[in-house]
Amino acid sequence: MSFNSELLRTLNERGYIHQCTDGEALDAAATEASITAYVGFDCTADSLHIGHLVSIMMLRLLQRTGHRPIALVGGGTTKVGDPSFRDESRPLLSDAQIDANKAGIRRCLEKFVEVDGRRGLLVDNAEWLDGLAYIPFLRDFGTHFTINRMLAFDSVRLRLEREQPLTLLEFNYMVMQAYDFLELSRRHGCVLQMGGSDQWGNIVNGVELGRRIDGRRLFGLTTPLITTASGAKMGKTAAGAVWLSEERLSPFDYWQFWRNTEDADVGRFLRLFTELPLDEIARLEALEGSEINEAKKVLAFEATRLCHGQQSADEATAAARSVFEGARDTDAGLPAIELPITRFDDGIDILELLQEVGFAASNGEARRLIRGKGARLNDAVVTDEKLTIAAGDLQDGRLKLSSGKKRHVLVRAA
């Protein structure tokens, strides 16, 4: 389908669109005037991760094309927990945990979009959900949802088919999300909800509720499930989620994640996760052989710049060049820890140091890392499990400790 509005045309060209409730009517609305759209983020952690990044990039694109984004944080829905495509209930969090997570999510979002002012908003659904009276809410809205239809949505049906329990609390989630859309349409003139393909059923419910209750014409748009060329879920690594917060993941490790993109994914990820012009992306994804590594470096730099800023992207690029290409100019950008110089007086046990920098969780795990030739000190493989590191091992007051080829830490004596 071809689109006239800059918003829908760009979303389509870059590969963001999977399903849309009425693409032609939404395109017309976005062509005629500025529209308001939202994406919801539940407060399940104190940082977002790159599994959220497609939705965040859509909010950013919405703002860049003259429309208004709303980032909805689920201070209310987090107390229920989204059951979509999960085999077990999410752990229930305290109000204090939810508030702390909400603050962390705000910091992540502010890197990408303006969320305080006329050009964009950050809204918490606890504003209206926490004050609901249960019986009046059921009377006013419960008649618009049938159990038959709710059971038919994949997010619920697949869980029941796997004979996993679904609590009454979780079953209410899709009603809460539909009500969010209705409230945002009333309060802020929001006409579009965007989200991942796993949210299709919840989004459709909100579109229908707006039509039935207020006679509003609302729209839903979902993005495809992003997997790598090898079929792995995007953003999942052996070490866990790829976080957007520098407190959770250093800019260097974030850069390195993108640098390790599979060859077949480079063009697609450049379109989704950077703002490079499409003709430049076409040139980069046409590179072959070893030259494709240059495209990966561009992807890593641009993605890191958007998330962590120009300086961090420059430092991560320089650090990677130092580590992997033999450049001697700088180790800037590598994760670093400082230890008192007195710690080196009697020597630090290598097993202890591997745990201290986060490369191992126990002595046993540190030993396995060494036995597998995965631990390196100043780029030399560590073979002695009883090694102690003294001040003489420091180079200009520091040493580099590595785990495998991709994880590196500078240890500085202070």
What are 177-228's pLDDT values in tens digits?
999 999 999 999 999 999 999 899 889 999 999 999 999 999 999 999 988 8
Please write the tens of the pLDDT for every residue from 236-246.
555 568 999 99
* Cβ neighbourhood burial of 166 (10 Å; 0-12, 13-18, 19+): middle
End-to-end CA gap in the chain: 61
In degrees and rounded to multiples of 5, residue 42 shows phi and psi of: -75, 155
Q: Extract the tokens encoding 160.
A: 């029941």
Q: How far is residue 228's CA from residue 325's CA, in Å, rounded to a whole number? A: 26
- Average predicted confidence (pLDDT) for the chain: 88
Please write the tens of the pLDDT for every residue from 42-89.
999 999 999 999 999 999 999 999 999 999 999 998 988 776 656 566
- CA 245 from centroid of its chain's CA atoms: 9
CB neighbours of residue 395 within 10 Å: 9
Q: How far is residue 128's CA from residue 366's CA, in Å, rounded to a whole number? A: 50
Spatial contact of 310 and 116, defined as CB atoms under 8 Å apart: no
Question: For residue 13, what are the CA distances in angstroms to 45, 153, 269, 277, 388?
Answer: 32, 29, 13, 11, 56
Please write the tens of the pLDDT for every residue from 125-169.
999 999 999 899 988 888 888 888 878 777 777 777 887 877 787
